[in-house]
C-alpha cells in the first residue's frame, strides 16, 4: 500500500453506511405514516417554536412526530430544534403513549435525525419518571446501535448489540434476528474480525426476502465496504455489482455512490470517479445531507490528490472538515487530518506531514480501528523514512506490517473465501435435497394410483442396479488407473532422483579434480601456470542453466501440482526459491543442493531461512518435512 487508500474515508462519517438497523425499523413502519405528498419547505425555527408553544402540553409529543415526518430542506436546523425539545420534554410524559413513543423512535431514525433519535432512544430506555415502555425499547436499542456505529465507538456499540442478542433469545422473530446479525456484523467489522463479520452479514442476507431489495442492497454494500477495508478489491467489486443488479440505479440509497467512487478511484478509472463524486455532491447538497456531503468532499479530495491536483485536494478536505466540525464528527476530523498529511507527503512537505500526524497520535489510540491504524502507521513510516529518522521509521513500519498481515493479508482472505465457497456448496446441497424430496413425493403419489407406476418403479430399480453395477465397474477401472499412475509416478521419481544423484556425483568429481589440480599448480613452473589456470577456470566455470531447466521440467512432470500448492500458501517465492523447494521435496541435503546449483552451503541455508519466513513457519517446524508433506 503506497498511499492511504480512499476507502479509509468510507468509514469516516458513515451516518448512512451501517443501515442494518434500518432494515428492522423500516419493515415495521407503515408507509402511510410518512406524508409523501408534501413538498419540501424551509424550516423556520421561530415559527415552529411559536406553534409548538401554543398547543397543549399533552399534544406536544404528537407535534414532534409531525415535525419529524414533514419534509424540510434545512435538516440541520430541524435536528437542533428537535434535540432541544426532546431534552425539554423528557421530564413531562403527559400524552405520551407507548405507540406514539415507538412511532417517534422509528420516524427519527427513518428521517436520519440521528442526534434526535439518540436522545429519544435514551429516554425510552430510562425515563426519568420511572415509566417502562417495553414495546418501543427494541427500536430504541436499534437506534443507539446505529448511533454508536456511526461514531465508530466499538465499546458502546457492543453494549447495544449484546442487548439485541438478549432480545433475540426471548423473541427470535425473523426481523429481530435480521437486525441483530446485521449489527453484529458491523461490530465485528469495526473490531477487525472480518471472518466473523462475513458470517453475520451472510446470515442477515439469508434472513432477507428477495423482494426486500433495499435491505439486500444495504447488506451487499456493507460486505463491499468490508472487503475494501481488506484491500480485496475484486471481492468488493463483486458485491457492489451484485447490489447494482438488484434494483435500478435511481432507486439506490445515495450513500452507494461513495463506494462506487472509491472502487473507481482504486482501479484508476478517474474520469468515472469524477462523475460519481460530482453526482453525490450535487445530490447531498440538494437533499441537505451534511454527513454524507462531508464524506463525499473527503473522497473527492482524495481523488484530486491522486490526480496530483493538491490545491483542490486541500480545498475539498477543508470543506469536509468544516462540516465535520459543525456536526461534531470527531472521527471525520481525524481522517481528514490523515488525508491532509498524505497531501503534504505527496508534495514532499515532510515536516508539515509529520506535524499533522503528531496532532492525532492520541486520537488514533482512542479510536483503535484496525484499518485506520494500518493507514496511519504506513503513512508515518513513509514520512519518517523520507525525513531520515530511521528509528521512528522502523517502529512505524513494524506496526504497519503487523496490522497488515493480521487483518488484510492472504490468510484472512483465504479463510473468508473458503468459508463462502463451503457455504455455497451447502446451499446447493440443501437445494438439491429439497428437489430430490419433491421428486420422491411426486413418485409416491403416482405409486398410489396405478400398477403401471409400480412396474415403472421396478424398472427404475432395475436400471438403478445396472447403473450401480456400471458405476462399480467404472470405480474399479479408475482404481486400476490410479494404481498404474502411482506406479508410473514412482518410476519417474526414481529416474529423476538417479539423474540428480548422477549430477551430484559429477559435481563432486569436478570438485575433487579441482582440488588435485590446485595442488599440481603449486608445483608447476610459473610458465605453465597460465595454461593450467585456464583449464582450471573452464573446469570450475558454472554450467549453463540447462541442468536446472532440465531438472525443473523433469520435476514438474512427476510432481505437477507441487508448485500450485506452494503458490496457494504464498505467491512471494522467486523462481530460484521454487527450484530449491523442489529439491527439498526430493529430500536433498543443503550440501547436495549446493553441488547441484553451484552455490555455497551457506547461501543455501540463507535461502532456506528466507523460504521459511515466506511460508510463515514457526521456529519449531521442520522446513523439509513441511515441504515433503505437500
pLDDT at residue 2 in the model: 37
Contact (Cβ atoms closer than 8 angstroms) between residue 314 and residue 351:
no
- The residues, ordered by sequence, that sit 6+ positions from 307 with a Cβ below 8 Å of its Cβ are 270
Instruction: Give 535-594 as a DSSP string.
Output: HHHHHHSPPPTHHHHHHHHHHHHHSTTHHHHHHHH-S---HHHHHHHHHHHTT--HHHHH
Closest CA to 456 of 469, 446, 465: 446
The pTM assigned to this predicted structure is 0.51
Instruction: Calculate helix-pair angle for 174-190, 194-206, nearest 10 degrees.
Output: 160
All residues at 6 or more sequence positions from 93 whose CB lies less than 8 Å from its CB, including other chains: 127, 129, 131
Please state the length of the chain: 630
> Is residue 376 exposed (0-12), middle (13-18) or buried (19+ Cβ within 10 Å)?
buried
Cell of 225: 465496504
Alpha helices per DSSP H over 247-269? 256-266
CB 48 within 8 A of CB 63: no
Q: Which residues, other chains included, contact 599 with Cβ-Cβ below 8 Å and sequence gap of 6+?
A: 593
Cβ atoms of 181 and 200 closer than 8 Å: yes
Write down the pLDDT at residue 556.
Answer: 80
C-alpha cell at 247: 434494483
pLDDT at 130: 56
Quick one: pLDDT at residue 343?
92
What's the rounded Cα separation, in Å, for the pair 135 and 100?
11
Which pLDDT score, from 0 to 100, does residue 29 have? Answer: 37
Low-confidence ranges of the chain (pLDDT < 70): 1-38, 128-133, 249, 367-370, 405-434, 446-447, 486, 489-490, 493-494, 496-498, 500-501, 503-505, 507-508, 511, 521, 524-533, 535-536, 538-547
pLDDT of residue 13: 32
Angle 164-12-347 from CA coordinates, rounded to 5°: 160
The pLDDT assigned to 310 comes to 92
Q: Which fold has domain 542-628?
A: Rossmann fold (3.40.50)
How many CB atoms are located within 10 Å of the residue 67 CB? 20
pLDDT digits (tens, 9 = 90+) for 298-336: 999 999 999 999 999 999 999 998 998 888 888 888 888
Q: What tens digit of pLDDT does each residue of 90-142 get? A: 778 888 888 888 888 888 877 778 788 888 888 888 776 556 667 788 888 88
Burial of 455 (0-12, 13-18, 19+ CB in 10 A): exposed
Amino acid at each position: 500500500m503506497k498511499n492511504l487508500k480512499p476507502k479509509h474515508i468510507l468509514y469516516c462519517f458513515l451516518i448512512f453506511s451501517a443501515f442494518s438497523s434500518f432494515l428492522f425499523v423500516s419493515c415495521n413502519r407503515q408507509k402511510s405514516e410518512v406524508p409523501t405528498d408534501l413538498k419540501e419547505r424551509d424550516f423556520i425555527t421561530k415559527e415552529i417554536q411559536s406553534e409548538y408553544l401554543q398547543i397543549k402540553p399533552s399534544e406536544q409529543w404528537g407535534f414532534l412526530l409531525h415535525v419529524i415526518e414533514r419534509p424540510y430542506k434545512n435538516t440541520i436546523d430541524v435536528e437542533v430544534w428537535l434535540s432541544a425539545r426532546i431534552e425539554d420534554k423528557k421530564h413531562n410524559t403527559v400524552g405520551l403513549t407507548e405507540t406514539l413513543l415507538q412511532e417517534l423512535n422509528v420516524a427519527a431514525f427513518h428521517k436520519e435525525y440521528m442526534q434526535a433519535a439518540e436522545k429519544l432512544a435514551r429516554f425510552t430506555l430510562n425515563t426519568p419518571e420511572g415509566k417502562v415502555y417495553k414495546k418501543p425499547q427494541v427500536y430504541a436499542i436499534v437506534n443507539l446501535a446505529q448511533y454508536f456505529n456511526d461514531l465508530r465507538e466499538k465499546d458502546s456499540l457492543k453494549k447495544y448489540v449484546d442487548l439485541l442478542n438478549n432480545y433475540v433469545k426471548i423473541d427470535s422473530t425473523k426481523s429481530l434476528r435480521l437486525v441483530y446479525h446485521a449489527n453484529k456484523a458491523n461490530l465485528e467489522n469495526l473490531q477487525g474480525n472480518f471472518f466473523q463479520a462475513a458470517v453475520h452479514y451472510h446470515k442477515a442476507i439469508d434472513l432477507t426476502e428477495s423482494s426486500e431489495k433495499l435491505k439486500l442492497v444495504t447488506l451487499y454494500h456493507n460486505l463491499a465496504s468490508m472487503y475494501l477495508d481488506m484491500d480485496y478489491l475484486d471481492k468488493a467489486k463483486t458485491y457492489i455489482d451484485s447490489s447494482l443488479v438488484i434494483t435500478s440505479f435511481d432507486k439506490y440509497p445515495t450513500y452507494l455512490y461513495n463506494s462506487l467512487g472509491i472502487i473507481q478511484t482504486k482501479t484508476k478509472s478517474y474520469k468515472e470517479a469524477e462523475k460519481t463524486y460530482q453526482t453525490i455532491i450535487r445530490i447531498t447538497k440538494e437533499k441537505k445531507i451534511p454527513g454524507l456531503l462531508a464524506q463525499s468532499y473527503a473522497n473527492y479530495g482524495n481523488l484530486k490528490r491522486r490526480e496530483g491536483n493538491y490545491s483542490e485536494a486541500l480545498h475539498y478536505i477543508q470543506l469536509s472538515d468544516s462540516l465535520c466540525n459543525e456536526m461534531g464528527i470527531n472521527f471525520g476530523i481525524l481522517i481528514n487530518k490523515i488525508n491532509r498529511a498524505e497531501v503534504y507527503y505527496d508534495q514532499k512537505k515532510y515536516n508539515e506531514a509529520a506535524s499533522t500526524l503528531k496532532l492525532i497520535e492520541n486520537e488514533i489510540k482512542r479510536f483503535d480501528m484496525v484499518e485506520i491504524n494500518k493507514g496511519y502507521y504506513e503513512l508515518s513510516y513513509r514520512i519518517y523514512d523520507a525525513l531520515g529518522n530511521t528509528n521512528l521509521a522502523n517502529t512505524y513500519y513494524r506496526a504497519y506490517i503487523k496490522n497488515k498481515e493480521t487483518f488484510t493479508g492472504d490468510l484472512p482472505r483465504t479463510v473468508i473465501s473458503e468459508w463462502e465457497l463451503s457455504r455455497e456448496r451447502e446451499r446447493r446441497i440443501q437445494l438439491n435435497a429439497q428437489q430430490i424430496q419433491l421428486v420422491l413425493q411426486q413418485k409416491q403419489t403416482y405409486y398410489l394410483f396405478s400398477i403401471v407406476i409400480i412396474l415403472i418403479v421396478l424398472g427404475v430399480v432395475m436400471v438403478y442396479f445396472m447403473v450401480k453395477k456400471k458405476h462399480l465397474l467404472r470405480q474399479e477401472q479408475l482404481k486400476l488407473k490410479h494404481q498404474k499412475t502411482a506406479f508410473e509416478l514412482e518410476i519417474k521419481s526414481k529416474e529423476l532422483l538417479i539423474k540428480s544423484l548422477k549430477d551430484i556425483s559429477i559435481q563432486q568429481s569436478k570438485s575433487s579434480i579441482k582440488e588435485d589440480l590446485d595442488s599440481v599448480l603449486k608445483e608447476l613452473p610459473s610458465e605453465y601456470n597460465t595454461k593450467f589456470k585456464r583449464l582450471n577456470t573452464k573446469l570450475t566455470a558454472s554450467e549453463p542453466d540447462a541442468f536446472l531447466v532440465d531438472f525443473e521440467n523433469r520435476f514438474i512432470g512427476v510432481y505437477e501440482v507441487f508448485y500450485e500448492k506452494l503458490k496457494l500458501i504464498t505467491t512471494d517465492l522467486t523462481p530460484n526459491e521454487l527450484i530449491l523447494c523442489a529439491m527439498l521435496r526430493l529430500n536433498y541435503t543443503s550440501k547436495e543442493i549446493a553441488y547441484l546449483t553451484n552455490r555455497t552451503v551457506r547461501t543455501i541455508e540463507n535461502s532456506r531461512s528466507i523460504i521459511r519466513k515466506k511460508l510463515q513457519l514457526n521456529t519449531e517446524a521442520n522446513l523439509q518435512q513441511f515441504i515433503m508433506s505437500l
